[in-house]
Structure 1
Amino acid sequence: MRTVGAIAAAVLLGTVLTGPAAAAETPPPPETLCTVTDPRVDELSGLVSDGEQWYGINDGGERVEVFVLGRDCAVRKVLTEGTDPYDVEDLARAPDGTLWLSDTGDNRADRRTVALLALSPQGKVALHRLTYPDGPHDAEALLLDRSGTPYLITKDVLGDSKVYRPAGPLASPGPTPLEKVGSLKFETTGTPGGPVGSFGSALVTGAASTVDGTVVALRTYTDAYLYAAPDGDVVAALRRPPVRIPLPGEKQGEALAFEPDGTLLSGGEGVGQPIRAVRGAAALATRDAATTPAGATGGPGAEADGAGLPVLPTAGIVLVVALGGWFGVSKLRRRRR
């Protein structure tokens, strides 16, 4: 999170945006599948599914650590490796079973490089350092397209998120330069939840894609946005109007995943928090795209560059300054450096 001063300044400089696109039909409410009670999984920040079990990571950490969860949310196994990351935030899974950890958190915006850590099924880790073309960013969302290209989506104040991908083949250890391929505009919504009130509904905290890459999703603390990608093109998908699926009541919702059948999974930080499911979510996105006229816009779709910011009411500004400052400090205390 940014400092209190930066948040307040950004709020006052905002401009009004259009609201999120409506789904063709009302999505079903999330249903609780199980509750994470293992104290080792206390900051669930990334989640993926292979159809039989789930893989989750904590926010931060001092080594590569992936928790293999049963469908009862119990930890079955822990995959570990000695590489010491800085601030892991999200998780993605390639078709070959490689787990990609997004070591891209940067609350103080002072990292010269960020990194992706590729954990192979054999337990080996490949480090890929990355550099932004325009200075540091805090990013908590990672997408892999069907070809394995990674996309990072930043967590910027007031919903002005940017989308980056490597400008060339990933080097190990790198760094490989990133290129900006678009920006996304998010508004606050009325969905309750998150650690910073309504402001949290404009902060991107996670991402996911279906096994075949035909639907990609981004989430904030309170809502998921699903984009149809019929040809697997992530940039083109993010320019389409999304389907918004509310995820109300999550204390600090950061994890998002798809089951192979298109069920959307969500979860968040804190022991005792649930893993929840929205069945048929991916089908809603593809169905909505099929009925949307060509060229239609609306909702947080990607643009070539530039982004306006939503204006929050005065009460919202006070809430952002108070809670945003507390949340940023609490996050910084958890970091080793």
Structure 2
Amino acid sequence: MRALIDRSHSRARARRLTVVAVLCGAVVAAAPVPATAEETAPAAAAPTVRCSITDPRLAELSGLVVVGEQMLALNDGGDQVTVHGLDGGCAVVDVQTTPVDPFDPEDLAVGPHGAVWIADTGDNNGERSTVALHVLRPGGGSALYRLTYPDGAHDAEALLMAPDGTPYLVTKEVLGSSGVYRPAGPLVDGGTVGTERVGTVNVTLTGTPGGPVGRAGQLMITGGAVAGDGSAIALRTYTDAYVWSLAGSDVPGALAGEPVRVALPESPQGEAISFTEDGGGLVVASEGLPSDVTVVPLPASAAAPTATPSGEPAPAFADLVESQASPIAAALLAAVIATVVVGVGGLLRRRS
């Protein structure tokens, strides 16, 4: 039964993206393009394709973490929480699951001591009363933490795991102003904890092509990553990546600064992002098969570390996969798009 529900959600999601693309694309195209506030990265080396994912179990790739020469990958959907281990050629070499039936997994990260965190936080229709973080521990064992937002439901596709083990969720907003949330208290396995909003990330139209929803995709945050040495944070949209320097574990403080923007190679529905093992580049991929896993080198201004590594050795891959515009124009644009999204969401819910 849940599999049928998941497929229904996927179909509703596809319809919603298509309609929003048509309607919002027309509005955005007619509006003036606001100037970008962030620094645009100078030209770096050209992106290179590392390998291509062809396994049908990863047709909706939404999360990716580089671990040495291998990767961990997360598919969007399914009736179990599943993490796939990939070798350097993008072949699936290990699959780990939990018995929990997720709602909509969207991103993953590696936390302290090698634990793998999965953000079950997707909510296209804004209907969830709680979201969830699933944790797979090296050597076996898992945990389930449920969270609530203080200001109503949100769709979130980006997970940032601070070096001190604090998870941060970044929402996906059609207007480009995303909220940053973290747990307001200690997480409780099997229990529910509230979150607090600790920041806002604003992105603007960039002109970079890609994604399933036209120019609106330049505003929607679809994935996040933290460098392995804790020196930088990255968030991506369907078209661009934004990189901030990180000092210690002050994720809100980092996101309050100006990022370096990196245009990403055009892809049909780019949601996955990771730093390379050395932090000198980004690794990105898209939903759809085949999906190229592409390494995008960072310019020196974005890649230079600003924090001292924690000294904790990086977990081995085998451990990780071991079993178990003007103010007026902007206001008008916001009002029109908000009206369209609310109307389309209501229509799709009535039809489902």
| Common topology (TM > 0.5) | yes
For these two proteins, the number of residue pairs brought into alignment is 306
Partner amino acid, structure 1, of 2:282: L
In the aligned structure 1, how far is the partner of 2:176 from the partner of 2:211?
15
**1:118/1:125 contact within 8 Å kept:** yes
1:248 to 265, 270, 285: 265
Structure 2's unaligned 5+ residue stretches are 1-12, 308-326
CA–CA separation in structure 1 for the residues paired with 2:45 and 2:266: 15
Please tell me whether the aligned partners of residues 27 and 245 of structure 1 are also in contact (alpha carbons under 8 angstroms).
Answer: no
Answer yes or no: is the 8 Å Cα contact 1:81–1:123 preserved in 2.
no
Q: 2:95 aligns with which of 78, 81, 90?
A: 78
Do 1:207 and 1:257's aligned partners in 2 also have CA atoms closer than 8 Å?
Answer: yes
SS in 1 for 2:123: coil
Q: Which moves more between the two structures, 244-253 or 143-152?
A: 244-253
Q: Kindly indicate whether the alpha-carbon contact (under 8 Å) linking 1:142 and 1:152 is maintained by their aligned counterparts in 2.
A: yes
Which of 48, 64, 67 is the equivalent residue of 1:31? 48
Of the three residues 245, 258, 276, the one matched with 1:259 is 276
The answer to whether the 8 Å contact 2:42/2:299 transfers is no
Q: Secondary structure at the match of 2:119?
A: strand
Residues 96-142 of structure 1: per-residue CA shift (max 9 Å, x gap): 11110000001110111001001111232200000000010000000
- Letter of the 2:88 counterpart: R
Residue 223 of structure 1: aligned partner: 240
Instruction: Find 1:188's aligned residue among 188, 201, 205.
Output: 205
* Aligned amino acid, residue 54 of structure 1: M
- Whether the aligned pair in 2 keeps the contact of 1:66 and 1:80 (CA below 8 Å) is yes
Moved more, 51-60 or 23-32: 23-32
- Residues 199-214 of structure 1 aligned to structure 2 (within 5 Å): 199-214=216-231
Q: Give the 5 Å matches for 1:50-199.
A: 50-199=67-216
Corresponding residue number in structure 2 for 1:270: 288
Partners of 2:302 and 2:162 in 1: CA distance: 17
Shift of 1:18: 3.8
CA–CA distance in 1 between the matches of 2:331 and 2:39? 21
Native 8 Å contact 1:159 1:309 kept in 2? no
| Residue 22 of structure 1 pairs with residue 43 of structure 2 | no
* Alpha-carbon distance in 2 for matches of 1:120, 1:253: 28
Percent identity for Structure 1 against Structure 2: 47
- Structure 2 contact 224–273 (Cα < 8 Å) conserved: yes
Q: CA RMSD in A?
A: 3.4
Change (3 A) 1:16 1:25: closer
Task: Report the 3-state secondary structure (helix = DSSP H, G, I; strand = E; otherwise coil) of the residue aligned with 1:92.
Answer: strand
- Please report how far the alpha carbon of residue 282 of structure 1 lies from its aligned counterpart in structure 2 after TM superposition: 7.6
User: CA 1:325 to 1:269, structure 2 compared with 1: closer, same or farther past 3 Å?
Assistant: farther
Structure 1: distance between partners of 2:59 and 2:162:
29
Corresponding position: 1:235 with 2:235: no
In structure 1, the gaps of 5 or more residues are 291-307
Q: 1:309 to 1:234 in 2, by over 3 A?
A: farther
Q: Provide, for residues 272-313 of structure 1, a one-character-per-residue CA deviation record: whole Å limited to 9, x for no partner.
A: 01000023x2843255989xxxxxxxxxxxxxxxxx898499
Query: Do 1:92 and 1:143's aligned partners in 2 also have CA atoms closer than 8 Å?
Result: yes
1:216/1:278 Cα in 2 relative to 1: closer, same or farther (>3 Å)? same
CA 1:310–1:264 in structure 2 vs 1: closer, same or farther (change >3 Å)?
A: farther
In the alignment, what sits opposite 1:300? none
- Cα distance in 2 between the residues matched to 1:184 and 1:276: 25
Off by >4 Å, runs of 4+ in structure 1: 1-5, 14-17, 286-290, 308-314
Cα deviation, residue 179, structure 1: 0.1
**1:54-105 deviation per Cα after TM superposition (whole angstroms, max 9, x unaligned):** 0000112210111101111111111122111111000000141111000000
Task: Specify the code of the residue in structure 1 equivalent to 2:190.
Answer: P
Mapped partners of 1:239, 1:168: distance in 2: 22
Residue matched to 1:294: none
State the Cα distance separating 1:197 from its structure 2 match. 1.0
Contact 2:163 2:248 in 1 (8 A): no
For residue 231 of structure 1, report the CA deviation from its aligned partner. Answer: 2.9
- Tell me if structure 2 keeps the 8 A contact 1:107–1:332: no
